[in-house]
Chains A and B, each alone.
Chain A
């Protein structure tokens, strides 16, 4: 589904999570698979709305700044998204909130995204934190 709007969608993801600009092609593929999976469980009406919204944002960028989303510089893109997030129209705010959720899923839903923030939870729990001295509270296995 995202295939039709891949370029503007990626530009939006980078707008929401700047470090996603450094994702490899393989990491993009994995992240977008997560987004596709989430959308596949939603009604067709919602999937169509997401596609339309991405296309609409691309057009808004072109109309307002003379460039589509992928061609906007990061600060202009951020300004655009901020203004839409603060829109007086609930429908627009909801749309941005939904795209933002997809962007976070693309980045933080991946194993590398979780690792990038230092997330370490595992089934072994306290037993996995036996090495003392790697941070406050480490080695406090009960």
Chain B
């Protein structure tokens, strides 16, 4: 095993790790060695081909189909330079006061989060797309909402020079999306922070990491790591873990921290989501233009959020209920399809948690509560009404039985779509907003960290990602992750003098 040392190790390069990396440039400038370890590879811009199967395999853990232990929910999270910011659609929302106040984390205020979110939004070029860049798929959602007396809101998105490839979830082929791979990490590297890709942190010991660096596999996209392949023992007086809800929780658990931190892995939430499609009479612009421009927030009233979306043929096929000729007919209507993503605002629930198996691989345990099933049914009903109000001829709703609703059934939606149609293992459901596992709070009995991401009892160990959320955020989490990571970085800078005392600069 080779040895290396640094002053600060940041594990993960997504919204959390990338933000911390940029914020710690002052340490690098002072001669401190700051290294980001990213498990995934770093792709050249030309390698973002937009081809569904090859990009999913290159950019996501398990190709975007990480299954829960129950085998009834698939989770999508990035494993690449930039983490999930490379593969999400760039939606950038500020959390609500209601949710942050309900979290009741001592020392964490909504006002503080908002100011940090706004700073990061500006840094990432977040803005509203002009009307001429909104495609039919999105426009029809807004019109449908108006048709049933509800007002959709427009997503601010972090794109610069968007050409409307509609491929955000496969990594922007034009580099328009301003994820950490485009903004924070390049800035950090210019400021002296190192990034080591293909580096999986296997364990964290006392201020020491065990890391395995891999070579790219045959035909695998992405450059080789900056470090030669092999096992490393890395001394790091400060460790910031930002591997995402699942990754960070699993790393701490396989490092044996579970006994000192009984809440580790607990409180997992994910906004489980169903895809609905509406079939129009004529072709619409759907697979061109930004895919996610509007949302309808019903989190307070009915515990769900609807968002526009446009997925790729394989993902779409997988998410439609059933198979055979009816399924094929709907797929062949692809150019006439409008899509809506229906997300449930789930709550931290006992038993929904992250653990690890004997080899240290993460396991996610998730059961659908009656509240989540009801929220998904209500979301299906609202989406169906929106489709019909927008002029759809037929609607495919996973919680209708049978799933196809004809236009003349529009008046009977309430009876046709019910929570009883949700059958785990049959209903295709997925989630991409993975939250919790290292929740913030006041002591080890109720949490893993304090409000500044400091792990209870281990002052050298910090967390900076969505695992910090003590409960569901009820909106797309990326800006909130950045705001929390910013707080973690602030605390690291504040404590660095003490934690790095008696060390040289780390430079050889």
Instruction: List the interface of chain A (C-beta within 8 A of B).
Output: 15-19, 34, 37-38, 41-43, 78, 81, 85-86, 90, 93-94, 96-98, 100-101, 103-105, 107-109, 111, 113-114, 116-129, 134-138, 140, 142
Contacts and interface: CB of A to CB of B under 8 A. Distances in A.
A123 B167 contact: yes
A142 B283 contact: no
A85 B289 contact: no
Contacts of B334: 117-119
A121 B166 contact: yes
Given A18-B328, A42-B62, 19 more contacts: A38-B63, A38-B65, A41-B62, A90-B71, A94-B71, A97-B426, A100-B318, A108-B316, A108-B317, A109-B52, A109-B314, A116-B332, A117-B331, A117-B334, A118-B332, A119-B334, A125-B163, A135-B335, A142-B133
Contacts of A114: 52, 312-313
B191 interface: no
B287 A93 contact: no
A108 B167 contact: no
Chain A, interface SS category: helix
Contacts of A97: 71, 425-426, 428
A125 B50 CA distance: 11
Contacts of A18: 324-325, 328
Contacts of B283: 134-138
B284 to A, nearest CB: 6
B323 A17 contact: yes
A134 to B, nearest CB: 8
Interface in B398-432: 423-426, 428
A104 B320 CA distance: 11
B317 A104 contact: yes
Interface in B32-88: 48, 50-53, 57, 62-63, 65, 70-72
Contacts of A109: 52-53, 313-314
Nearest to A16: B323
Contacts of B331: 108, 117
Interface in B310-364: 312-314, 316-318, 322-325, 327-328, 331-332, 334-335, 361
A90 B50 contact: no
Nearest to B61: A41
A142 B129 CA distance: 11
29 contacts: A15-B324, A16-B324, A18-B325, A41-B57, A41-B63, A81-B323, A81-B324, A85-B426, A90-B425, A94-B71, A97-B428, A98-B71, A100-B323, A101-B318, A104-B317, A105-B314, A117-B331, A117-B334, A119-B312, A121-B167, A121-B288, A122-B50, A123-B174, A125-B164, A135-B284, A137-B135, A140-B132, A140-B285, A142-B130
Given A117-B331, A119-B313, A137 B425 contact: no
B72 A129 contact: no
What 6 pairs across the A-B complex have the smallest Cβ distances?
A93-B425, A135-B283, A125-B164, A137-B285, A123-B173, A125-B163
A39 B136 CA distance: 37
A96 B424 CA distance: 12
A120 B426 contact: no
Contacts of B317: 17, 104, 107-108
B399 to A, nearest CB: 15
B152 interface: no
Given A120-B287, A121-B167, A105 B323 contact: no
Nearest to A119: B313
Residue from B70, B71, B167, B284 whose CB has the most chain A CB atoms within 10 Å: B71
Contacts of B162: 125
Interface in B136-180: 136, 162-167, 173-174
B2 interface: no
A23 B50 CA distance: 24
A124 B423 CA distance: 40
Nearest to A123: B173
B503 interface: no
Contacts of A37: 53, 57
